[in-house]
Amino acid sequence: MKKLFVLLAAALFFTGCASTQTETEKLANCKYALRSVEISDYNVNSLSFDIVIAITNLNRKDTAKLKRFEGELSMNDTPVSKINLEEATILPNATHNAKTHITVPMSAFSSKLLGLVSMNSGTIDYHLTGTMYFEGPLGAEIPIPVDIGRIGGYNT
């Protein structure tokens, strides 16, 4: 009886591992892009930005379920703000544009960077790093590191 229990436990463990590997492979088949960073409001104390991150599910059959994203936005190698995204469902062979809004205090910008941002210059390099957490088997979160950038201040 103990041998049967051990065999069943081992079978469940290996099935769970295979399922987790399959889920991870599906999520690794997603493509990420920093679609746009646009100034939405500004005043003496802060600048506000609307940010769009495109998540494309390249899998033809399976839906990807984003649980959350935690990351940091940099402009010309200067970290300016933390970025967080909420849950999203990305259908097979589709792109989901995750949108977020941030407000950055003026103190976060160097004078050179502030001048470029306020002029909406095409010479600003935006860079986003962080971790996407996707829903895995049995509700487990699977972390996928993300490192994406976009050159220029204009929406392309």
Asked if residue 17 belongs to a domain, the reply is yes
Residue 93 binned pLDDT confidence (cut-offs 50, 70, 90):
very high
How many domains would you assign to the chain? 1
Average pLDDT over residues 62-89: 90
More confident residue, 20 or 108: 108
Q: What is the pTM of this model?
A: 0.73
**Does 96 have pLDDT greater than 90?**
yes
Asked if residue 33 belongs to a domain, the reply is yes
pLDDT in tens, 98-113: 999 999 898 888 777 7
What does the DSSP assignment read for 83-142? EEE--EEE-TTEEEEEEEEEEEEGGGS-HHHHHHHHTT-TTPEEEEEEEEEEE-GGG-EE
Asked if residue 143 belongs to a domain, the reply is yes
CATH number at residue 98: 2.60.40.10
Q: What CA–CA distance (Å, rounded) separates 80 from 94?
A: 30
Asked if residue 114 belongs to a domain, the reply is yes
